[in-house]
Amino acid sequence: MNIIPDPWFYAAAIPAAILMGLGKSGFGGGLGTLAVPFMALTITVPQAAAIMMPLLLLADVIGLRVFRRDYDKKMLKFILPFGMLGIGIGTLLFKLMSPHMVAGCVGVFTLLFLAQQLLVKPKADNAPPPKWLGALLITTSGFTSTISHAGAPPFNAYAIPLKMKPVVFAATAAYFFFFINMAKWLPYAYLGILDMRNFWTSMLLMPFAGLGVWVGQHLARKINAVMFYRLVYAGMFLSGSKLLWDAF
């Protein structure tokens, strides 16, 4: 079995797989965006993105099974076309834009959104984000997901102000990113970053990704809404800071 032999890779990849699972459960609030940067400490960003693909598929399938009755169908119908548009843009620009440039843009955006949420006290009667802003954010999510699997911060920026219940938030994110990640297989094959060595390496990391999803999903169902969103904000701060650091 042809796998990556470097033990330092697994020292970074195992925590990355667990963080990805937590993020895919909807509980980690953007922690999944740390997975590719973690792996990229020892391998290239495109290779890290390729290794993540089977792990994302596993996490998505688990998410669909657990959250099959909880997602917001109306919201999903609205956001999916814009997510696919973002994938198309990301595919066209994949080899033109530096992953560090994309990381920096996503990091700045994430931290600015977080600052706005924390410093400007929301009112109970605040209107939800306008449709045009949702379309822009979700297109950005599809784009950044294609470039570096960092689609969660723009998605969160649109979904958090909607004030959904934690389980509905997690379920809708799980369904959205299932379709997004399935749609990325063909562009990744076209770009030539999928190979058997990356695939078998992914297989070794599968149990850790599954563990992260399982833990996150159980916590999302038991935790109260205030604590849930505090943890989402913490995840966004960590992921935004790491992405911004990567840009430099």
Per residue in 129-166, pLDDT tens? 789 999 999 999 999 888 777 788 788 889 888 888 87
Place 232 in a pLDDT band, splitting at 50, 70 and 90: low
Highest mean pLDDT, choosing among 72-81, 123-132, 236-245: 72-81
CA distances from 133 to 84, 127, 137, 138 (A): 16, 13, 6, 9
What is the per-residue burial (b if ≥16 Cβ within 10 Å, else e) of 71-103? bbeebbeebbebbeebbeebbeebeeeebbebb
Q: Both tokens of residue 40? A: 């990229």
Per the model's pLDDT, the better-predicted residue between 163 and 226 turns out to be 163
Q: Is the pLDDT of residue 66 over 80?
A: no
Dihedral angle computed from the Cα positions of residues 131, 26, 229 and 111, in that order, rounded to the nearest 10 degrees: -70
Report, as an integer, the average pLDDT of 158-185: 87
pTM, two decimals, is: 0.74
- Listed by start position, the domains of the chain span 7-247
pLDDT at 79: 96
